[in-house]
Amino acid sequence: MSSDIMHEIIEMMESEAHSRPSPMEYEMAYQARVAMDRIRFAIKHGNQFSQPSEQMREACLQLLEALERLEYLDRRFQIRSRIKASLRWPNRPNPDDVNGQGGRPTREPPNRG
């Protein structure tokens, strides 16, 4: 086998390995979702059970900012993992399409004529 072909094969394998989210990235995405749930809980309980004060308002704003940052990262991870999944399985139906045909299902039977 020529060295050019071997280099091409190695490049293809490396690009495939780097194109998918790693197990560590999946773990980080999971931990980010856990943190988002806990931040939402803290904000909700802070608003419900604390006396209104400037310090509580500032704390809630800080928590909201942290939540927004985590949500942004989660959206980026979701987009990245969807793009990579569609590249790996090009014939797989789009999960956004209910019937796999690009449209919503109807109650009407198909035309047979």
The answer to whether residue 63 is domain-embedded is yes
Q: Is residue 50 part of a domain?
A: yes
Model confidence over 45-80: pLDDT tens digits?
999 988 889 999 999 999 999 999 999 999 999 888
Locate 69 and state its tokens. 């940052």
pLDDT of residue 63: 96
The answer as to whether 113 is a domain residue is: no
> Does some domain include residue 49?
yes
Give the pLDDT band of residue 83 (cuts 50, 70, 90). low
- Burial category of 6 from C-beta neighbours within 10 Å (exposed 0-12, middle 13-18, buried 19 and up): exposed
CA distances from 47 to 33, 51, 60, 102 (A): 21, 8, 8, 43
The tens digit of pLDDT for each residue in 5-37 reads 888 888 887 776 666 788 898 999 999 999 999
Total number of domains constituting the chain: 1
Residue 43 lies in a domain: yes
> pTM value?
0.59
Q: What is the distance between the alpha carbons of residues 102 and 52, in angstroms, rounded to a whole number?
A: 50
Alpha carbon separation from 31 to 34, 42, 57 (Å, rounded): 5, 16, 26
Q: Residue 73: which residues within 8 A CB-CB, separation 6 or more?
A: 32
Domain that residue 57 falls in: 20-88
